Amino acid sequence: MQKVGIMGGTFNPIHYGHLFLAQQALEQMKLDKILFMPSKNPPHKKKQEIVSDQCRKDMIRLAIMGNPQFELSSLEFEREGTTYTADTLTILTQENPDTEYYFIIGADSLFMMQNWKAPQTVFRLSTILVAGRDRVNQSEMDEKVKFYEDIYQARIFFVEMPAIEISSAAIRTRLGEKKTIRYYVPDHVMEYIAENDLYR
């Protein structure tokens, strides 16, 4: 079985925090590759705040080039309507029955998963990898993990990594204030943002 990690999100824009987390998950769980899968119409985001699908795909390609274990997946861009993780995992496992999927989330998302569409499907079709444990109360986290294990037979592991206080929202704010984003994103992404006058 091939072991494939999935990094979902709007990637608006992709930054070094995303890349560092992906690399840590790849190494710690001995994955074969990581799919960077931008969301087309995430249920919790306002569409007008997000740059075009093409721009986000271009920035991901620029950010991951040179790493043969990182790959862009446009799967969610190819579907109509709101994109849900359960639907994405269903499609992937049907198309690739010889692959085990590892879905990478932040610690804050762990507490919301029972409110996702069809959480039982998400837990059945993937192993959950949780990042950012140091920002959340450990006993609350352990309690939530046990709840998911008992109710959904979930498989949940933690990705150990230092806290990296970079967010796409902070990057957009800096750009709006005409501040540099050097060292927040790879140079090729920074140049692309400038050339296309994004987030101004």
* Mean pLDDT, rounded, of the chain: 94
Rounded to an integer, the average pLDDT of 176-185 is 97
Condensed to tens digits (0 to 9), the pLDDT of residues 63-96 reads: 999 999 999 999 999 988 888 999 999 999 999 9
Q: What is the model's pTM?
A: 0.93
Task: Give the per-residue SS3 of the chain.
Answer: CEEEEEEEECCCCCCHHHHHHHHHHHHHCCCCEEEEEECCCCCCCCHHHCCCHHHHHHHHHHHHCCCCCEEECCHHHHCCCCCCHHHHHHHHHHHCCCEEEEEEEEHHHHCCHHHCCCHHHHHHHEEEEEECHHHCCHHHHHHHHHHHHHHHCCCEEECCCCCCCCCHHHHHHHHHCCCCCECCECHHHHHHHHHCCCCC
Q: Is it the case that residue 135 has pLDDT exceeding 90?
A: no
User: In angstroms, rounded to a whole number, what is the distance separating the alpha carbons of residues 69 and 155?
Assistant: 23
Per-residue pLDDT tens over the stretch 136-169: 888 999 999 999 999 999 999 999 988 888 999 9
Angle at CA of residue 51, ends 45 and 54, nearest 5°:
120
**Rounded CA separation 118/23 (Å):** 28
- φ/ψ of 185, rounded to 5, equals -135, 160
Q: How confident is the model at residue 178 (pLDDT cuts 50, 70, 90)?
A: very high
Structure confidence at residue 81 (pLDDT) = 82
Domains of the chain (ranges; CATH) run: 2-163 (3.40.50.620)
pLDDT band at 61 (very low <50, low <70, confident <90, very high): very high
